[in-house]
Structure 1
Amino acid sequence: MYTHTDTHDLRHHGDAEVRDDKLTDLAVNVRTNTPPDWLRERIAASLSGLAAYPDGRAARAAVAARHDLPTERVLLTAGAAEAFVLLARALPARRPVVVHPQFTEPEAALRDAGHEVRRVLLREEDGFRLDPAAVPEDADLVVVGNPTNPTSVLHPAALLARLARPGRTLVVDEAFMDAVPGEREALAGRTDVPGLVVLRSLTKTWGLAGLRIGYVLADPGTVAALERAQPLWPVSSPALAAAEACMSRAALAEAEHAAHRIAADRAHLLAGLAEFDEVRTVATAEGPFVLVRTERADVVRERLRSLGFAARRGDTFPGLGPQWLRLAVRDRVTTNRFLQALDQALVMAGHAEGP
């Protein structure tokens, strides 16, 4: 089903949960203890060249080589969020559809650009899995995340490719794909899917949210159209240095190792959450976060804050309601501390509810 109705705060993001308070952060999906020292050093070394205008050729070539693509299929952006704005402004979509629940910035950008957005709402009872038949045939722009934020569901690449049509732009947000071991189900690098646009972010795995760096992979015509919509020198020299560094063979190996560690830590978190009768999880989670449902989640979230933990509210995501929370995957020590706090928060929420 799809709808025009909106009662959600599309501009609310996880960083709002951790501002001004010293809390253990489970609300933002940036990997902890990042950026690593070697990446900090590469970024710091770039500061000596700040008098020159940014030159993105080396970084663009590095991204292209990493995905075995020509440079004409790569566009560097100030994070994936800028890419959504460029897509909304530069592409002539008349019937855009966004698959929800997912990152809300694509819809917000489309609306800001004057588009009337239709929604496909995935259902909890279906495990938040996508049925391609649910997407209207006349949609000329379709946006879907993989793995999807906030559900952490990883859709099969073959299933997403079935959404491609002549005259349709298929935008797949792979901002968290490098947190999936082997990047299985990735579409990045594919040139056989018509109208495919893949977005990637380097801010999550490498801890570069404050630097703003990401990229778009698409056919040369789409890349050229998006590039024309960009301001001059949209990506800073330090961000370009970071992008080039993160494409190295050693960096990719480090990211793969981190992905396996995240998978193990996520399994530990899910096992701990399974001990609570009051909590249901999207157990098929494949990203660096999990989505949980519990009654009075708003009260539980406030109790968690009082106990030192920030969780991401779920009710700002279309398709979800006030019973949902998103939790970033952290190391086992942090998770064990959180599970103890959650136990207390659930008891406190139950007492607050009364008889």
Structure 2
Amino acid sequence: MPEDSVDRALLRHHGDVDARPGMLDFAVNVQGSAPPDWLRQRLAARLDGLGRYPSAEEADAARRAVAARHGRRPEEVLLLAGAAEGFAMLPRLAPRLAAVLHPSFTEPELALRAADVAVTRVLLEPPYTLDPETVPADADLVVLGNPTNPTSVLHPAGAIHALRRPGRIIVVDEAFADAVPGEPESLAGFTAPDLLVLRSLTKTWALAGLRCGYFLGDPELLSRLNRGRAHWPLGTLQLEAITATAEPAAVAEEQRRALGIATERAAMIARLTELGVHVHTPAAAPFLLLRVPDGELLRKHLVDKGIAVRRADTFPGLGPNHLRVAVRGGTEVDQLIEGIRTAGL
């Protein structure tokens, strides 16, 4: 897509803009308003040490914990101040042509365009199935989400492997993979010289304000991404959060949470469908893509009712009648259903 036809303001739009304080929040995909008590206690216990710089030993411990969690070597882990930092690093790979699969999270495309990297959009049509043949053969960087935001589609690992070509790097954004029971189709444990997997701790552990994530990949690729980075790129609390959430007990809790999300998602799909709302299925992530007759009118009506949903027309390939809603529990869904019903669409 030509640079002059791209609206960067739309690419910069995120769900937090749609949710004002005090609103019932279906716009942001973070689970809960704060980390669980045990994680808060781990972080609080480190407060007295904030007067000193984070040590190399602490960073190494976090890398080892993440590596053990995914069955990889510590040198295959690059710790990040949130997944957004990882996207900002992508231009350091110096691609000639980056292909970004859409509809999907827009931050990677924005980061690449801001660095004057040539970008082509590969627009997937409903049901948003990944067809490797639609990606231009000369694209030497391919970026996609799995499961994909906002469609909630989980692509087969085999289809992602089929994207691989000599001289091409594949970047898979797995920010929501830990919310899928068993993490099927994840490539986090797969080692290859042309594959980078990005993980975020923001959503499952309610750490949006702390900014924690990591890249998994070949050490040579990680070295290229890490080049020119500031000293002490992560603080003490970030390193503690990454270490804590990679431990076996936390991973087990993560999977219990994923099972709960799956149950809530199925119930939510049934209720929205019964109301006459089109919900894109199958859905695998902690959010759902809706299509309604007048999305902008409905969104404004819900705002008047104190309910925030995510406008989805900022995602390439989607329009004003698409909305994204986070998966929530029954009480919250009751209010969403009532809000949609009273809109009279």
Q: Give the TM-score range, shorter chain.
A: over 0.9
Where structure 1 has 5 or more consecutive residues not aligned to the other structure, the ranges are 351-355
In structure 2, runs of 5+ residues without a counterpart are: none
1:274 match: secondary structure: helix
Matched, 1:87 2:90: yes
**Does structure 2 retain, via aligned residues, the 8 Å contact 1:86–1:230?**
no
Query: Residue type matched to 2:333 in 1?
Result: T
3-state SS of 1:181 partner: coil
| Rounded Cα–Cα distance in structure 1 between residues aligned with 2:146 and 2:275 | 28
Give the structure 1 partner of residue 12 of structure 2.
Answer: 11
Residue type at the aligned position of 1:252: V
Paired residues, number = 340
TM-score (norm 2): 0.96
Q: Which of 324, 338, 344 lines up with 2:342 in the alignment?
A: 344
What is the aligned partner in structure 2 of residue 353 from structure 1?
Answer: none
State the shift of 1:194 in Å: 4.0
Larger deviation, residues 29-38 vs 305-314: 29-38
Structure 2 distance, partners of 1:307, 1:18, is 12
Partner of 2:141: 141
Q: How does 1:306-345 map to 2 (within 5 A)?
A: 306-345=304-343
Q: Is the 8 A contact 1:296 1:322 kept in 2?
A: yes
The Cα shift of 1:140 comes to 0.2
Partner of 1:225: 224
Q: Counterpart of 1:203 in 2: which secondary structure? A: coil
AA aligned opposite 1:134? T
Matches for 1:288-299 after TM superposition, within 5 Å? 288-299=286-297
- Amino acid across the alignment from 1:171: V
CA distance in 2 between counterparts of 1:132 and 1:312 reads 29
Cα offset, 1:239, TM superposition: 0.7
Please point out which of 110, 114, 117 is paired with 1:115. Answer: 117
In structure 1, C-alpha distance between the alignment counterparts of 2:54 and 2:328, rounded to whole Å: 35
Which residue of structure 2 aligns with residue 188 of structure 1? 188
Within 1, Cα distance between the matches of 2:17 and 2:232? 29
Partner amino acid, structure 1, of 2:141: L
What is the DSSP-based 3-state SS (H/G/I as helix, E as strand, rest coil) of the residue aligned with 1:283? coil
Q: Return the letter of the residue paired with 1:287.
A: A
The amino acid of 2:207's aligned partner reads L
Choose which of 65, 68, 71 in structure 2 pairs with 1:68: 71
**1:178-327 to 2 correspondence within 5 Å?**
178-191=178-191, 193-277=192-276, 279-327=277-325
- On the 8 A contact 2:264/2:327 being kept in 1, the answer is yes
CA contact (8 A) 1:74 1:216 kept: yes
Kindly provide the CA deviation profile for residues 234-271 of structure 1, in whole angstroms up to 9, marking residues without a partner as x: 11110110000001111001000000000000001100
Per-residue CA deviations over 1:185-223 (Å, capped at 9, x if unaligned) read: 0000101x4410000000100000000000000101011
Do the aligned partners of residues 258 and 3 (structure 1) sit closer, same or farther apart at CA in structure 2, a change above 3 Å counting?
farther
Q: CA deviation at 1:286?
A: 0.3
CA contact (8 A) 1:99 1:119 kept: yes
Q: CA deviation at 1:34?
A: 3.5
What SS does the aligned partner of 1:163 have? coil
Matching of residue 25 in structure 1 with residue 28 in structure 2: no
Say whether 1:162 aligns with 2:162.
yes
What TM-score do you get using the length of structure 1 for normalisation?
0.93
Partners of 2:292 and 2:322 within 8 A in 1: yes
1:51 corresponds in structure 2 to 51
**Secondary structure of the structure 1 residue equivalent to 2:25:** strand
Secondary structure of the equivalent of 2:45? Answer: helix
1:153 is displaced (CA, Å) by 0.2
> In structure 2, the residue corresponding to 1:316 is in which secondary structure?
coil
Percentage identity across aligned positions?
A: 52
- 2:214 partner SS: strand
Q: What CA distance in whole angstroms lies between the structure 2 residues aligned with 1:343 and 1:99? A: 34
For residue 276 of structure 1, report the CA deviation from its aligned partner: 2.6
